[in-house]
Structure 1
Amino acid sequence: MYLLLPGRHHLLTRYQKEYLLQLVKNGLSEALDVFGNRLLVSKHPTAIIFAVTSANHNNTRRNPLSLYQRAMMIQDFSRELSIPSFVIPIDDIGQSPNFASYILKKIEVETELKLKLTKDNTIVLCSTPVANLYLELGFKVLPVEKVPGPKLAFYAKLPWEELESIVSKRNKSLQNSQQSNSEFQIGQTNKIQPNQTNDDFKNLDPACLRLWKDYGLFEKVDMLFSDTLIGDDGDLTESRDYNTYVREMDEIAELKFQETKPFVQPGRIGDIGCAVGSWIKLVCQDPKYFESDFYGVEIARHLYQICEQRKDNGEFVNPNVFFLRKNAVSGLVYQPLSMNTIHTSSLTHEIESYGGRSQLLAFLKNRYEELVMGGVWINRDVVGPKDKEREVFVWMEEESGTNQGLGPESFPSLKEFLDSLSTKDRFFQFKHDFRKEEGYVLRTSPVSVDGIEYHRMKLKDICEYISKKDYTDNWESEMHESFCFWSLDDWKQYLESIGFKISNFSMDYRNEWLIKNRYEGKIKLFISNKSNPTKFSDFIPYDFPVTHMLMLAEK
């Protein structure tokens, strides 16, 4: 007769060991089932099957241990039981009424059909409502920690309750010790916290305690359960219209999700510069990430408050969604070696624009430090063209303007003034305004060819203009932002220099909607093999270059 013990098995207790020992020693006949009735099974247990659920998840609050750590602990735990034990990994399938039957089929497959568990040859051991799924299949169920019968009472804490109790005591002990000893660090490996005694671990089985101490797992759950990241920093820019900004972020959330979804690794998932949490909301709806923890980081007070309100409204289906108000530029926002996935979107160009190159490089190194080995940083942002220093000749339409030579002071708002300008006239306003405070000088020279005026400039400069020319409601903010400082190759070169491996799925690409709706008919680009073209035949049409990138940097 087989004993099936399904569960996450992140922690094993003395009570569980004693319960199993009694079944092995005394048999099953007198054991009381979940209803309080004697089992009356004459056969003795011949093997114990530990079905390790959520085996494909680790590094989260719900699943702190990896499969191999759980398997080692179970094998050590089983040595005293005198009958064979089997560890069978069960991957997560989310909430399913067929979960019990899935486990049975998975055990059969994982053991190459050697273990076929049926209601006639297996007794299930389960103290949670999952027991009902096995009862529906006709299995007999032993309640382990639960008192038999309808009363919700227990002889001992469930393993997960033991873990939460230990974490709670460690956190209180840490807080007390930090007040009296500023030199104490939470990262001291294999250390019992000050004021914490062995009595706090008395309910853990020795095999469990050995593994947790040897692998520093108490320190790991300290990190997973702690929340010390909330900061109080200002915004990157004071000239942003947040009503427009929030609306735009929500509108493109689905695009971001679909583009990045194939590369998100389960576990601890961070979204730095999360805006109003739209990307996290979409990812945590995917059943693949039900066991993951999500950490959104947002520096802007207004956006952070929206994230918190959305969480209060219950808009996130995963309860383990946390929002942190923290400046990700100045240092680490997550613990080193703690994150499976870090996502950023439209952020790195802002760091370059407002903080400068030194802060961008620091930001990149910090993300490398925060990832676990094998983790991925997904960076979706604008990007510069490969030949950004190339000289191009630009034609700009000049018929759409309604301005009669009036300056900004003649209009109720800067937006209305800018909207009155043709593409060509708006370019000259851009040339005057673009990164003026940062000291940037955009150099152009007019060239007349067949009676038509073109303007000679660097490719990166015209790309900066066409990427911003239609954002007249946030013009002052946009004039600080540099999009084309690095090409995709520049990004790859630097990220590889600090240890990242760049996935072959990384790419730069054109946003064809922008090309069709914003660029065509407004701007034409040409190159020439002649230094001073004099006729139209001297020009070679030049396609609009890439506008965005998806960078997948793996540690």
Structure 2
Amino acid sequence: MYLLIPGRHHLLTDFQFKYLNRLIKCELDGEKDVYGTPLVPQNIQGVIFAVTSANHLGTKRNPVPFYLRAMIIQEFSNSLDVPAFVYGIDDVGVINDFPEYTIKTIRHSSEGVHALTPENTVVICSTGVKEMYLQHGFRVLPAEWDPVSNQFTQPMPWDVVKLIAQAGDWRKNKTILDQMHPASFKIWSLYGVGEKVQHILKDPIIGADGDLTATRDYNVYVKQMDDIAAQKYRETAPYIQPGNIGDIGCAAGSWIKIACEDDRLHECDFYGIEVSRHLYDICLQRKHNGEFANPSVFFSQKNAVTSLVFEAGSMNTIHTSSLTHEIESYGSREDLIAFIRNRYNELVPGGVWINRDVVGPENKDETILLWLNNEDGENDLPIPEKPSTQGLAAWLGKLSTMALFKQFAKDFRHHEGFQLPHEWVSIAGKTYAQLSMQNACEFLFKKDYHDNWLSEMHETFCFWNYNDWKSALEEAGLRLDNLSTTWRNEWIVKNRLEGKVQLMRPCNNDVPLPIPFPVSHMLLMARK
């Protein structure tokens, strides 16, 4: 008879060892399942740990990588009288029958050696997952769960993880020492897992599954990043200093892929940093596929806001693209300032941080008038009820520019508690929206992102202009190179703005004057 223990297994508790040890030595004698029915005494051949979400690491839900979880289990099992087997069960999204997927994965991974059935396996599970195993006919032992009182009577492993996350010196916390099995304590201490978990679980930016936003369509996003990668590299390549080159917010690794093909950089080491689990997985897959010409390419899933992601004073070049506005959007101004300071600390003397991103207009605080075309689409088209991402994009695409602005005013940073200040005014028979130049440009430069509308509505583009950036960089100790520049995307002006919107400046004679469309992007070279 096998004992199957499914779970994430970030650590194992002292209770779990004593419980397993008793089951093995007493051969299930006197044990009752979740229904209170005694089990027939049987010899235990082995314990099988099904480690779920084995393909996840560095997230709030799964902070510990699979290899460390496996090491903990093997160390934990050394004192058991039977062998322990560890199988990784990858997270592949929503599965209606997770036990069947788990059993099949174990059978496949063991090449048929462990074909688990209700006849040869007893499941140990105290969470709601036990109901699914019961439906398959497995007997389930409750472990920490007391079916009589309908409550947990022993600490769950994740309870101990959360306790560690909130503790100061967790290695000397008496409750943790009482509850955490010595094998877990040994591996967590040896590999500094406790400090990493504290860092991840306290992170204000990363979501439960390691993403900034739950509303991003990654298929669309990756295609967009790949499509523009060559242009981004052309713009930044002249300023790259050979040596250690880091790309923070590397997305799918597209910029690094092109940089690896640059003959000037063939002896360089490349380091890609990505906070999103989805994108990090894509980077690893691309490396596995051999898509990078340089073998010295390394990827890590880290948050560059809350700490250094490279060794202090080690980087010759750091590259970021379309990232800093996301830090301001999903974090805070303090997070952005911390990010800038971290980059300063990571650069070697004379090293350069190349930052390509959107930027606000110089006159961002000026109150202006915004003319919006109301004849280029529908004005009273009702929004579909609970639309899909594709359905919402289709609906947005049918709206007039004026109707699109009205929807934008409702959605823009709504979840952050922001209400777009604006009012409608009529001058000489024409209607204008009166608002700040900054908020007008927020609409201008994201109004066409229909495919990722809900995600884009979290993001602010125009919070700082060039001089704001210059001041912030200098305060952190960086020098802004004179080659730094801002520019206006003429393609956007011609294809998305002209004839649809017009910026106007109020005048005393009631005849507003047109304002040229402002800069929208920047390329900053900040040197240490």
Do the two structures share a fold, i.e. TM-score over 0.5?
yes
1:544 corresponds in structure 2 to: 517
Match of 1:235 among 200, 211, 226: 211
Residue in 1 aligned with 2:429?
451
Deviations 1:359-393 (A, max 9, x none): 11111100100000000000000000011011111
Q: 2:368 aligns with which of 379, 392, 395?
A: 392
Distance 2:214 2:283 in 1: 20
Find the counterpart in structure 2 of residue 302 from structure 1.
Answer: 278
The one-letter code of the counterpart of 1:440 is F
TM-score (norm 2): 0.60
TM-score by length of 1: 0.57
Gaps spanning 5+ residues in structure 2: where?
Answer: 1-184, 193-207
- Whole-Å separation in 1 of the counterparts to 2:414 and 2:465: 23
1:490-546, Cα deviation, whole Å (9 max, x unpaired): 00011001110110011111111111111111101111333xx53xxx222100001
Give the drift of 1:432.
Answer: 0.8
Say which of 447, 464, 485 aligns to 1:507.
485
5 Å-filtered alignment, 1:461-500, equals 461-500=439-478
What's the CA shift string for 1:28-87, capped at 9, x where partnerless?
xxxxxxxxxxxxxxxxxxxxxxxxxxxxxxxxxxxxxxxxxxxxxxxxxxxxxxxxxxxx
Q: How far apart are 1:411 and its partner, in Å?
A: 6.1
Contact 2:245 2:268 in 1 (8 A): yes
Indicate if the aligned counterparts of 2:325 and 2:357 stay in contact, CA closer than 8 A: yes
8 Å Cα contact 1:233/1:299 also seen in 2: no
| 2-structure distance, mates of 1:433, 1:182 | 46
Q: Secondary structure at the match of 1:525?
A: strand
Q: Residue 180 and residue 409 in structure 1: after superposition, are their counterparts in 2 closer, same or farther (change >3 A)?
A: closer
Q: CA RMSD in A?
A: 2.3
- Counterpart amino acid of 2:237? K
Structure 1 pair 183–415 and aligned structure 2 pair: CA distance change class (3 A): closer
The answer to whether the 8 Å contact 1:273/1:347 transfers is yes
Match of 1:554 in 2: 527
How far apart, in 1, do the equivalents of 2:409 and 2:350 lie?
A: 44
Pairing 1:65-464 to 2, within 5 Å after superposition = 234-402=210-378, 404-409=380-385, 413-464=391-442
For the residues of structure 2 that align with 1:447 and 1:233, how far apart are their CA atoms? Answer: 45
Alpha-carbon distance in 2 for matches of 1:438, 1:376: 33
Q: CA deviation at 1:465?
A: 0.5
**Structure 1: where are the runs of 5+ without partners?**
1-177, 186-231
Please tell me whether the aligned partners of residues 381 and 399 of structure 2 are also in contact (alpha carbons under 8 angstroms): no
Deviation per CA, 1:389-438: give whole Å up to 9, x if none.
Answer: 11111111111223544233286622222122110001011101111121
- Partners of 2:362 and 2:448 lie apart in 1 by 24
Deviation at 1:179, TM superposition (A): 7.3
Aligned residues between the structures: 328
Where does residue 496 of structure 2 map in the other structure? 518
User: One-letter code of the match for 1:242?
Assistant: Y
The farther-off stretch of 273-282 and 233-242 is 233-242
Runs of 4+ with >6 A deviation: 178-185
Partners of 1:525 and 1:265 lie apart in 2 by 40
User: In the TM superposition, what is the alpha-carbon distance from 1:184 to its structure 2 partner?
Assistant: 13
Describe the SS at the equivalent of 1:496. helix
User: Contact 2:354 / 2:524 at 8 angstroms: preserved in 1?
Assistant: yes
Q: 1-side partners of 2:289 and 2:305: how far apart?
A: 30
1:48-59 to 2 correspondences below 5 Å? none
The answer as to whether partners of 1:233 and 1:327 remain within 8 angstroms in 2 is: no
Give how far 1:233 is off: 6.8
Amino acid at match of 1:444: H
In structure 2, relative to structure 1, the CA distance for the partners of 1:247 and 1:181 (3 Å cut) is closer
Distance 1:181 1:354 in 2: 30
Partner SS, residue 476 of structure 1: helix
In the TM superposition, what is the alpha-carbon distance from 1:458 to its structure 2 partner?
0.5
- Say if 1:368 and 1:500, in contact at 8 Å, map to a contact too: yes
CA distance in 2, matches of 1:387, 1:236: 30
Q: Is the 8 A contact 2:368 2:503 kept in 1?
A: yes
Name the residue aligned to 2:123: none
1:181 to partner: Cα distance:
13
Report the 3-state secondary structure (helix = DSSP H, G, I; strand = E; otherwise coil) of the residue aligned with 1:389.
Answer: coil
Distance in 2, Cα, partners of 1:183 & 1:455 = 61
Aligned to 1:223: none
- Give secondary structure in 1 for the equivalent of 2:451: helix
